[in-house]
Amino acid sequence: MSLVLIDTSVWARQNQPQVRQAVAEAVEANAVAIVVPVMLELLRSARNQAELLELSEEYEALHLIPLEPDLGKRARAVQAVLAKRGYHRGPSPVDLLTAAAAESVNAELWHCDKHFELIAQFTGQPIRRLGR
- In the chain, the number of structural domains is 1
Helix (H) or strand (E) holding 87: none
- Of 7-16, 36-45, 59-68, 86-95, the poorest mean pLDDT is in 86-95
Alpha-carbon dihedral angle through residues 96, 1, 22, 119, given to the nearest 10 degrees: 20
7: which residues sit within 8 A by CB, 6+ positions away? Answer: 38, 95, 98, 109, 110, 111, 112, 113, 116
CATH number for the domain harbouring residue 116: 3.40.50.1010
Tell me which residue range forms the domain holding 32.
4-129
Indicate the residue type of 54: E
pLDDT for 40 beyond 80: yes
pLDDT of residue 71: 95
> pLDDT tens, 57-113?
999 999 999 999 999 999 999 999 999 989 777 899 999 999 999 999 999 999 999
Cα–Cα distance, 114 to 34 (Å, whole number): 19
pLDDT of residue 29: 97
DSSP state of 112: S
pLDDT of residue 122: 93
Q: In 33-67, which positions are buried (b, 16+ CB within 10 angstroms) versus exposed (e)?
A: bbbebbbebbeeeeeeeeeeeeeeeebeebeebeb
Q: How many CA atoms lie within 13 A of 7 on its CB side?
A: 28
**Percent of the chain clearing pLDDT 70 (strictly above):** 99
